[in-house]
Chains A and B, each alone.
Chain A
Amino acid sequence: MAAETSIASTTSAASILSISAVTKRYQSGLVALDNVSLAIDEGEIFALLGPNGAGKTTLISIVCGIVTMTSGQILVDGHDITSDSRLARAKVGLVPQEIALDIFATVWNTVCFTRGLFGQRADPVYIERLLRDLSLWEKRKTRVIELSGGMKRRVMIAKALSHEPRVLFLDEPTAGVDVNLRRDMWALVRNLRKKGVTVILTTHYIEEAEEMADRIGVINDGKIILVEETAKLMQKLGKRRLTLVLQLPMETIPAELSDWALELKDNGQRLSYSFDANAETTGIPQLLNRLSEMRIDFKDLETTRSSLEDIFVKLLEDAA
């Protein structure tokens, strides 16, 4: 796999977050992260994908100072998170997976609390704009306990942005939220990028990564197995598929069609052909000619492109 090359190529002077050889071994002996290296460029949206237990949240938690790494080094905008933690942490905001809020505090107070905690002086104008952007302004005097789940998640985001971080971690930001909020969050993330904020998100919704991320990293069993620009990844690993709906079902694929990578599906009613989307010749015209010569008729055809999800599954299968 080209993972090593891809990871190395990501390290540059423009990195706002530099993770070098980070390992996390819990007391139980579980190795959650195994020699992970990663560099995130300033202003990009980076999606970290991986199955449950892959190490995504552990990695984020280490950068934010919530979990202690066993070995390695992490720099945030050049500041070491261990020896220069104060400056490093001041630049980072985190929206964790779980909603964790003081339910008795008002929206305004809890957001101002986080800003102050991060050493920033009160700035009512900024907080008002933030709450308005997140549709929370009308709820500013409402206690958190009275808010809906979606609103609470917005409060979590407002808190994470309250101290104007340069790097924002969104750990499964749209898990369990409705479509409207998801769309709002996507808009918010794009808006943050325009302001120069680097966004690193973990997600199970692969379409979310495909839709938003500039680059994608795949982590599995505590190891980064791939880092690539989203478009390149789609181009590099993306397959296209031609599916023909046959007039008459076929029991087996005739030997005359062995030059093409064909599969029979739906009890022989569909003939599927996978091909490289980037190849100079796809072989489709030749296949259609051969089918015509063999008097194999079809009543419909469709072409599909493999999704990021297909790519992700394949990567994990290859890594296994």
Chain B
Amino acid sequence: MRGPRAINHIGMWMIYRTEMARTLRTIWQSVATPVITTALYFIVFGGAIGSRIQNVGGVRYGAFIVPGLIMLSLLTQSISNASIAIYFPKFIKTIFEILSAPLSSLEAVFAYIAAAATKSIAIGCIILATATFFVPVHILHPAWMVAFMVLTSVAFSLFGFIIGIWAKNFEQLAIVPSLLVTPLTFLGGAFYSIDMLPQPWRTISLFNPVVYLVSGFRWSFYGAADVGVGISLAFTGGFVALCVLVLWWMFRTGYRLKP
């Protein structure tokens, strides 16, 4: 480091590289799982249900579910990657190294989140590539698609990081993703348009934050959305801001990190 105000970019890079190396140790599992899962979704939803629902909003059902599938993986992978990244050092007590290093909280969080988001975006790309084997996929706004992918990955990596700090055991680590995020994702329009729902379920769905993510992401593919793109972006940005605020408080008070 050059001085007291210099960014510890070497320290950040070490965290990022080590986190990525952890994924590479299980590279086949990391790649094979999303490929197989995506293939299964296409067989079940695209094949069985898609044969009864030809088009949704002018898009073939098989193609319609692609953004939802990617978003489902982005959410779960981002949370899982980030939460385990901070929980595991706490569990094996190597967290003392991070806390005692000349690394600001912001730098540490940035490095962990960058690694978690990179991994989930890579998996999102693998799913997208796999989907092209099953259905023709057109991306109307590729730059927006990338933007939504990055923003969503960062947002839910931050959320996962919060869960990782909060969790005292593996049960708590798994409880939020399994009992909250997965149901919200399935009910968030990943496999259907909320226009297809009768009232009052359609209105109730608007309280599900995942609806906005899936809708915005689907818009970047096909130009059609359940809710306005601006609202989707505003929601995701707001969620990032909220997570950053919670993390700032956690590090400032040392919540479950420093006694």
Q: Is A121 an interface residue (CB 8 A)?
A: yes
Q: Is A153 an interface residue (CB 8 A)?
A: no
**B94 x A101 contact (CB < 8 A):** yes
Which among A79, A113, A121 is the interface contact of B18 at CB below 8 angstroms? A113
Q: In the complex, what's the smallest C-beta–C-beta distance from B16 to chain A, in angstroms?
A: 10
**B102 x A85 contact (CB < 8 A):** yes
24 contacts between A and B (CB under 8 A): A26-B259, A64-B96, A65-B100, A68-B254, A84-B4, A86-B1, A86-B102, A87-B102, A88-B102, A89-B102, A90-B102, A100-B92, A100-B94, A100-B96, A101-B94, A104-B25, A105-B18, A112-B14, A113-B18, A116-B11, A117-B11, A118-B101, A118-B102, A119-B101
Q: Is A103 an interface residue (CB 8 A)?
A: yes
Q: Is A125 an interface residue (CB 8 A)?
A: no
Q: Give the chain B neighbours of A82 by CB distance below 8 A.
A: none
Which among A65, A102, A116 is the interface contact of B13 at CB below 8 angstroms? A116
In the complex formed, the residue of B with least CB distance to A24 is: B259
Q: Give the chain B neighbours of A118 by CB distance below 8 A.
A: 11, 101-102
Q: Is B23 an interface residue (CB 8 A)?
A: no
Q: Is A98 an interface residue (CB 8 A)?
A: yes
The CA of A105 and the CA of B8, in the complex, are separated in Å by 22
**Interface residues in B227-259 (C-beta closer than 8 Å to A):** 254, 258-259
The CA of A310 and the CA of B13, in the complex, are separated in Å by 51
The CA of A79 and the CA of B5, in the complex, are separated in Å by 13
**Chain A interfacial residues counted at CB < 8 A:** 36
B95-113 interface code vs A (CB 8 A; 1 in, 0 out): 0111111111000000000
The CA of A258 and the CA of B204, in the complex, are separated in Å by 95
Q: Is A286 an interface residue (CB 8 A)?
A: no
**B14 x A92 contact (CB < 8 A):** no
The CA of A85 and the CA of B108, in the complex, are separated in Å by 15
Q: Give the chain B neighbours of A87 by CB distance below 8 A.
A: 4, 102
**Interface residues in A201-245 (C-beta closer than 8 Å to B):** none
Q: Is A120 an interface residue (CB 8 A)?
A: yes
Q: Give the chain B neighbours of A113 by CB distance below 8 A.
A: 14, 18
The CA of A102 and the CA of B92, in the complex, are separated in Å by 8
Q: In the complex, what's the smallest C-beta–C-beta distance from A308 to chain B, in angstroms?
A: 30
Q: In the complex, what's the smallest C-beta–C-beta distance from B38 to chain A, in angstroms?
A: 28
Q: Give the chain A neighbours of B8 by CB distance below 8 A.
A: 86, 119
The CA of A89 and the CA of B8, in the complex, are separated in Å by 12
Chain A CB within 10 Å — which of B18, B100, B258, B259 has the most? B100
Chain B CB within 10 Å — which of A26, A65, A79 has the most? A65
Sort A-B residue pairs by CB-CB distance and give the 6 closest, nearest first. A116-B14, A119-B1, A100-B93, A89-B102, A64-B100, A86-B102
The CA of A65 and the CA of B99, in the complex, are separated in Å by 6
**A66 x B100 contact (CB < 8 A):** yes
Q: Given contacts A116-B10, A159-B97, could you give 6 more A-B pairs where the C-beta distance is less than 8 Å? A: A65-B99, A85-B102, A100-B92, A116-B11, A117-B11, A117-B15
Q: Give the chain B neighbours of A96 by CB distance below 8 A.
A: 93, 96
Q: Is A11 an interface residue (CB 8 A)?
A: no
Q: Give the chain A neighbours of B259 by CB distance below 8 A.
A: 26-27, 67-68
Q: Is A33 an interface residue (CB 8 A)?
A: no
Which among A104, A109, A119, A159 is the interface contact of B102 at CB below 8 angstroms? A119
The CA of A98 and the CA of B18, in the complex, are separated in Å by 22
**B14 x A117 contact (CB < 8 A):** yes
Q: In the complex, what's the smallest C-beta–C-beta distance from B23 to chain A, in angstroms?
A: 12
Q: Is A6 an interface residue (CB 8 A)?
A: no
A86 and B11 in contact, given A67-B259, A68-B258 (Cβ under 8 angstroms): no
In the complex formed, the residue of B with least CB distance to A99 is: B93
**A94 x B96 contact (CB < 8 A):** yes
Q: Give the chain B neighbours of A104 by CB distance below 8 A.
A: 22, 25
**B104 x A86 contact (CB < 8 A):** yes
Q: Is A114 an interface residue (CB 8 A)?
A: yes
Which among B10, B22, B103, B258 is the interface contact of A66 at CB below 8 angstroms? B258
The CA of A112 and the CA of B104, in the complex, are separated in Å by 20
**A103 x B92 contact (CB < 8 A):** yes
A117 and B103 in contact, given A84-B4, A90-B1 (Cβ under 8 angstroms): yes
Q: In the complex, what's the smallest C-beta–C-beta distance from B192 to chain A, in angstroms?
A: 42
Q: Give the chain B neighbours of A94 by CB distance below 8 A.
A: 96, 100
Q: In the complex, what's the smallest C-beta–C-beta distance from A145 to chain B, in angstroms?
A: 11
The CA of A121 and the CA of B21, in the complex, are separated in Å by 19
Q: Give the chain B neighbours of A65 by CB distance below 8 A.
A: 99-100
Q: In the complex, what's the smallest C-beta–C-beta distance from A38 to chain B, in angstroms?
A: 19
Q: In the complex, what's the smallest C-beta–C-beta distance from B20 to chain A, in angstroms?
A: 13
**A119 x B96 contact (CB < 8 A):** no
B184-220 interface code vs A (CB 8 A; 1 in, 0 out): 0000000000000000000000000000000000000
Q: Give the chain B neighbours of A68 by CB distance below 8 A.
A: 254, 258-259
In the complex formed, the residue of B with least CB distance to A63 is: B100
In the complex formed, the residue of B with least CB distance to A67 is: B259
Q: In the complex, what's the smallest C-beta–C-beta distance from A222 to chain B, in angstroms?
A: 15
Q: Give the chain B neighbours of A116 by CB distance below 8 A.
A: 10-11, 13-14
**Interface residues in A40-99 (C-beta closer than 8 Å to B):** 64-68, 79, 84-90, 92, 94, 96, 98
**Interface residues in B1-53 (C-beta closer than 8 Å to A):** 1, 4-5, 8, 10-11, 13-15, 18, 21-22, 25
